[in-house]
Amino acid sequence: MWQLYVGLAIIFFGLNDFTVKKIKKAKPEQILFFQFISASFLAFIATIIFGQTSKINFFHMFLGIGLFLALMFFYLALKLGELSKVAPIFGLNVIITAILGLIFLSEPFSAKTITGLILGTLGIYFLGGKK
């Protein structure tokens, strides 16, 4: 089931990146404002429907600030650069996440994992690197 969720996330992130690049007149902070307003509303509705609530703490706030900053810098990069170069380089966040999972969450560490990380990094380099 998680594969379906990952597939949907990939599709929606791809559509999001394309749409942000397509919007030429709006500033990145305006786009983020409307994204966060709509996302907050949808998250509120999902919480009501699924009944999942948790105690809000500093870590939750930190996640929101981190996401905001990441998207702000990404949108600024999209405004200045080509989508076909910015998006793959932004994909390095996947490599960083995997490394953090290996180090701090004690996820399985193998030659296959290291090879995948190296090949992923090389792939991103070739997709987004200079001509």
Interatomic CA distance for residues 60 and 88, integer angstroms: 28
As given in the structure block, the two tokens for residue 79 are 């405004």
Which pTM value belongs to this model? 0.75
pLDDT tens digits for range 97-113: 888 888 999 888 889 98
pLDDT tens digits for range 24-65: 778 888 888 988 899 888 888 888 887 766 677 777 778 888
Coil/strand/helix, residue 110: coil
As given in the structure block, the two tokens for residue 121 are 């990094």
Place of tokens 């960083």: 96
Note whether 75 and 20 are within 8 A (CB): yes
pLDDT at 115 over 90: yes
Interatomic CA distance for residues 51 and 40, integer angstroms: 16
**Residue among 93, 95, 65, 74 nearest 18 (CA):** 74
